[in-house]
Structure 1
Amino acid sequence: MLYFEKYEANGNDFIIVNEIVDKAVIPKICDRHFGVGSDGFIIVRNENNTFYMDYYNADGSRASLCGNGLRCVGKYLQKNKLIDSNTFTVKTEVGDKVGFINPDGSITINLGKPIIKYLNEEVRIENRIFLVALVELGVWHGVIYLGNLDEELMYKYAPLLSKHPQYSSHINVNFCEIISKDHIKIVTYERGVGFTNACGTGACCSYIVGKTLYNLNNQVKIIFKGGEAFIEEKADGIYLTGKANFICRGYYEREEEQNA
């Protein structure tokens, strides 16, 4: 049986295991009706107290980075007494990411510097044109600033934008609304998952676009469906801060074990 622990950061939830698994298991255990249920699946490998994170979306597709997933990994390392300080480093496909466990229990991750490929490129769907910024931070994000977050519009067009033929591969889509120079709302549609309660890399990419186009402050509060987080831009990267919480632990019986 597969031992797992489940965590969440702003309602973005993850199953964390400490062993390599058959990739066919991932969409099954992440299924919210027939499995445990989660947005993502994380393998944490501990090699002589060096920690590696392998991240998968709920459909089993691989992703190079997950900001909220890293916050949950920090909580996992702390809860399981795998670290003895408030600073930790996790190796990802896109390099080492440093995290900090703050006195209030929140976790800060330096996610690095997003790379803007372009700003406000026109993307046409049916008779509507969206101005999309394309940004990379381990994964590709499309960022769209709207006057207000129109739920009907987002739910109709997000899946179509994610798979639009202008992009060489599917992208995450972030809809943003500016409340003030230090306060924005974000709704994210993630490839391989769908709409999620929050997205850490999406928040960082949305911030850097807002900073470039609309002169956002260096410190910004982010409002997700799943609560609030905070972003601060420093010389060495974008820092994401927010709570991460343990939900439960258990054992998942693989299909071959069920049939034994």
Structure 2
Amino acid sequence: MTAPALLEVTKGHGTQNDFVLIDDRQDELDLTPALVRALTDRRAGVGGDGVIRLVPSASVPEGARVLAEDASATWFMDYRNADGSVAEMCGNGVRVFVKFLERLGLADAAADVVAVGTRAGVRRVRREPNGWYAVGMGRWTLPGGDAAVDQGFDAEVRVAGLDVDRPALRVEVGNPHTVLALSGLAELATVDLTHAPTVSPTPPNGTNVELVVPLGESPDGHGGTLGRVRMRVHERGVGETRSCGTGACAAALAVRSWAGPDAPDVWLVDVPGGTVRVSMLDSGTVELAGPAELVATAQVDLAALTAS
């Protein structure tokens, strides 16, 4: 595969977690780490937290497992972090990906649930009447098991701006997360995430780190309760981002675990880029809902891009 002289890209975001999207239905683009880094560069490139390549599931090595799980998952979300590394999944990204499919006439998430192939398995997406996209994020786990639930933590995290290491809880939502609670919004604001937090024990495949402040519970208007949490996140391979979909799920799951068995099953997670909704379902899975926007389409001169 060879790169074309001009590459058409679309810029999109979900709660300001932003992506460069590429329509590669013919599987012709050699999406190298260097090209990803050039595209996501915020000064010399298009700029973004990652690159999403649309490709047929049948064209990628992971596609056989995806299609065996759901034959309707014909399109694969090939997601790369801004540093060029391959990522399993992105909760904000998959919403934007489905909106991209809709723009291309390849899906209608209001009429049908759209099955999307990812390295974390099939993700199913529907568009709600308010325009938000709801994504079934699959099963989640606490790698530390019952011992971590009882203690409330199974890791320690050192973050610039905090005077001591903090206990944290590991959460798997298709990709790895480590969540720590802070004392309040003032402390959350002072944390320095320009440096990657140090996690112990060291995760073998890296981890996203979520810093959270629980904001309490309120009536949901339907006889139940709704939880709320504020979050900042440092994404592996990217740095601090304005939002992280799987991270929002991890944050809500961790706070719910700390709150005990009577905690709400639905949480609003406030991130610097907006708000998303996280719902824990009876099936043992979690759903993420939030907005998705496509803001621009451009022709990128690849010779100029790589020269810079």
TM-score (norm. length: structure 2) = 0.78
Shift of 1:196: 0.6
Of 92-101 and 204-213, more deviation after overlay is shown by 204-213
User: Does the 8 Å contact 2:136/2:286 carry over to 1?
Assistant: yes
Amino acid at match of 2:104: N
TM-score (norm. length: structure 1) = 0.91
Amino acid at match of 1:110: G
Whether 1:121 aligns to 2:131 is no
Show the counterpart of 2:126: 100
User: Does the 8 Å contact 1:122/1:129 carry over to 2?
Assistant: no
Show the counterpart of 2:268: 221
Show the counterpart of 1:18: 23
Show the counterpart of 1:204: 249
Change (3 A) 1:89 1:165: same
RMSD between aligned alpha carbons?
A: 2.3
Question: As a proportion of its length, which structure holds more strand?
Answer: 1
State the SS of the aligned residue for 1:155. coil
> In the aligned structure 1, how far is the partner of 2:293 from the partner of 2:305?
30
State the SS of the aligned residue for 1:62. coil
Amino acid at match of 2:7: L
Shift of 1:79: 1.8
Change (3 A) 1:209 1:12: same
> In the aligned structure 2, how far is the partner of 1:22 from the partner of 1:42?
10
2:204 alignment partner, one of 159, 165, 168: 168
> In the aligned structure 2, how far is the partner of 1:133 from the partner of 1:226?
24
Identity of matched residues, %: 26
Bigger Rg over Cα: 2
Deviations 1:137-183 (A, max 9, x none): 22211100112142465316961325x56322321100011101311
Change (3 A) 1:12 1:258: closer
> In the aligned structure 1, how far is the partner of 2:194 from the partner of 2:35?
30
Q: Displaced runs of 4+ in structure 1, greater than 6 A?
A: 256-259
Show the counterpart of 1:5: 10
Change (3 A) 1:177 1:253: same
User: Does the 8 Å contact 1:161/1:173 carry over to 2?
Assistant: no
Matched residue count: 258
Whether 1:188 aligns to 2:233 is yes
Return 5+ residue gaps in structure 1 as ranges: none
